[in-house]
Amino acid sequence: MTATVSSLGAESTPISGTALIIGCGYLGMRVARAWLAQGRTVTALTRSRADELAGIGIVPILGDVLNPSTLRQLPQAETLLYAVGLDRRSGRSMREVYVDGLKNVLQAVQQAGKLPRRWIAISSTSVYGQSHGEVVTEESATMPVDDSGQVILEAEATLSQAVPGAVILRFAGIYGPGRLLRREALLAGQPLIADPEKWLNLIHVADGVRAILAAEVHARPGSIYNIADGTPVTRRDFYTYLAKLLNAPPAQFVWPPSNPVLIEEANRQISVEKARRDLSFQPSYPSYREGLPASLAESA
C-alpha cells in the first residue's frame, strides 16, 4: 500500500456529499439515519443485513472486510465512516478483523482510486493503559494493558500510515437503548466482579453520533480525539444508580476476584477538552444521570 492521502479536508459548513459506512452496527446505523435525514445518499457494507438496511433507505453492499473480492464494489464517497467491530460469533480473531480487514479495505479503495475525501475511524480509549486514576488526554502515552487495546492501537497506526489525513475518534464505553452495562446481572441480583472505586468513562450513543457529525465538519485532518461525556464515574456510583432505575436489588461487588485473570488494570479519567474545543462538541447527556433514564425510556 503506497498510496496516501495528505489532506482529507473538513469544512465549516454542513456536508452534503455521499457517505459510506463500513461497520453499520449499533453506532453506525444511527449515524446512517442521521445522514439520511440530511438528504444524503448512504451506502453500507454488510455481511447479511441487506434487506434491513435497504428498508430504511441505505444502499447495501454485500461483503466482508475479510473477503477482498467482495470489496471491489465499494463506491466513491465524500465521507467514509469506519466503525468495524468484532462479531464474536464469526470465529475470527480481533487482529484479523481490526487489522487485516482494514488493510483489505485500504487496498480496495486505493487500487480503485476511490479514497474518500474524509475518513473517520472509530477507535477506543482502550489504547490507553493508565491504571492509577490519571486524567488522560490525546497526548497521553498509549500503553494498552490488554491484547484488544494493542490490536486497536495497531489498527490506528495502519490507518494513519496509509491515510495521514484520517480522523481517529477514540470512544469511551458506548451505552444507550438496548445496551446497558451489566443490566441482566443487576436484575438477577448477581454480584459484579469489578473494583467499585475504579473509573468508568462513557458516552451515550446519541452523543456518539453527534460527535461523528461534528468531526465530519470540524475535525482537523490527521487528528485524534477522545469522545466521552466528560463525566467519569466510579463503578459503584454508576451501577448503584442503574440498579435503582431498574428497580433491581442494590448493586453488590466482589473484589478482588478469586481468578486473577479477571482483574482489570485500566483506571483512568478521559479528558474531552480537545473535542470540545476543536469540534464544538457538547453532549446532550453530560453524564450517566441524564443518559441512563433516557436510555431506559427509549427502550420501553
Boundaries of every domain in the chain: 19-175+204-230+265-284
Please state, for a pLDDT cut of 90, what percent of the chain lies above it: 85
Give the H or E element holding residue 277: helix 273-279
Distance of CA 140 to the CA centre of its chain: 19
What average pLDDT score do residues 45-52 get?
A: 94
Architecture field, domain 19-175+204-230+265-284? 3-Layer(aba) Sandwich (3.40)
Is the per-residue pLDDT at 266 higher than 50? yes
What average pLDDT score do residues 48-74 get?
A: 96
pLDDT at 258: 75
Identify whether the C-beta of residue 19 lies closer than 8 Å to the C-beta of residue 209: no
Three-class DSSP labels, 210-249: HHHHHHHHHCCCCCEEEECCCCCEEHHHHHHHHHHHCCCC
pLDDT at 14: 56
Is the per-residue pLDDT at 12 higher than 60? no
Average pLDDT over the chain, rounded to an integer: 92
Helices (H), 78-204: 94-95, 101-111, 147-162, 183-187
User: One-letter amino acid identity for 148?
Assistant: S
Q: Is the pTM of this model over 0.85?
A: yes
What average pLDDT score do residues 254-261 get?
A: 76
Q: Is 14 exposed, middle or buried (0-12, 13-18, 19+ CB in 10 A)?
A: exposed
Give the whole-angstrom CA distance, residue 76 versus residue 56.
21
Please state, for a pLDDT cut of 70, what percent of the chain lies above it: 93
